[in-house]
Amino acid sequence: MDETLTDADIIDCGKLSTKQWPGSVTATSTTPEIISEAVRRLNEFYVAVTDDAKTRCIDGRYDPHVDEAHLGPQVPGGAPGAALAWRLGVDEGSIASATFLADAERMIDEFERHGFAPGGHRDTNNAGAPDKVGCGAIDGIDVIVGAMMAHLDDHKRIVSLILGDDFNNRVYREMLGGASLVNFESDRYFAGREKILDILEQRFPGSVATLEGDHAEALVVVNMVPQTTLASNRFAQTFNGVQAFGYDVWRSLEMAKSLLPRNDQERLRQNFVMARVMTTVATLMALTDGSQRLILRMPKQVAEAQPEPNSLQTEEGTVRL
């Protein structure tokens, strides 16, 4: 087996929060022993993505039709979920005339043009509901900005943990400003968002999955190892139904490069990635109570270069002794 799949660093960052977030998905019904075992064995459940497999949501529930030998990457809300990040980070048009539905359709166009297979999902619990699709990242998208504002300390801490050295406070504040504007227009901007799944289904038959059962995510895994993704069905089956949210953040970085390819678009790429990570964390705040364990899955650290023997590091550089 390819070593990069099984040999990644698993970094346990503890519980998402000690506060009570507004969402209902809780990890408190799972035992700490099962969670620890799941964390320890996490790499066993990461596989190489298949290029033409449809994009999946971060949702950890059971997908009865997915072929786990051919998985697409996981991002919140699937393809339409990137629309809000584009609106916050890249689009310079006025929010007053924008709608989520139009933004999401345009994002699906971008996916198609750049060869990313679009995808999204519904669930069995909301089958037949008139204005819900069953994807928390789409159904709850009008409240995620409010959730983020209500728990700003947690939000900033987790976003900077995920981005590491790439976290930029100025960009963070700019995106927050954009999010407040969207929040102000929330009712109008997000109206009719559930129709995006019909549009996705019509344009790409078979691209919309229907997930089964209830949420039982005890982990949030932010995966930074390119071209890998979580086999969610096998994970949940192994751990007695305990699920994991999987966010393949490497895909957001890859998308930023494809959608904004010019050398002079670095600022926009940074904005897009910041906004995508910010909306992901906000989605988790709206979906969960904050009790899940946050795990970073990172490429194995190569040992830092040691100073040469018989040399001294000074501000001027290496001085040979």
Q: Which of 53-67 are b and which e, b meaning 16 or more Cβ less than 10 Å from the residue's Cβ? A: bbbbbbbbbbbeebe
Q: Does 137 bind Zn ion (CB under 5 A)?
A: yes
Q: Does 8 bind Zn ion (CB under 5 A)?
A: no
Separation CA 202–CA 124 (nearest Å): 20
Q: Are strands 311-314 and 243-248 parallel, antiparallel or unpaired?
A: unpaired
Q: Does 139 bind Zn ion (CB under 5 A)?
A: no
Residues 38-57 binding Zn ion (CB under 5 A) are 57
CB nearer to Zn ion: give 27 or 171: 27
- Considering the complex, what minimum distance in angstroms separates the CB of residue 78 from Zn ion? 7
CB nearer to Zn ion: give 55 or 291: 55
DSSP string, 50-110: PTTSPPB-S--SB-TT--TTS---B-TTTGGGGHHHHHHHT--S-GGG--HHHHHHHHHHH
How many other CB atoms sit within 10 Å of the CB of residue 184?
13
Q: Does 284 bind Zn ion (CB under 5 A)?
A: no
Phi-psi region of 227 (alpha: psi -120 to 50; beta: other; left: phi over 0): left
Residues 184-223 binding Zn ion (CB under 5 A) are none
Residues 244-283 binding Zn ion (CB under 5 A) are none
- Considering the complex, what minimum distance in angstroms separates the CB of residue 33 from Zn ion? 28
Scanning the structure block, which residue is given the tokens 């629309």? Answer: 83
Q: Binder to Zn ion among 55, 59, 101, 284 (CB under 5 A)?
A: 59
Q: Does 84 bind Zn ion (CB under 5 A)?
A: no
Binding residues for Zn ion (CB under 5 A):
57, 59, 135, 137
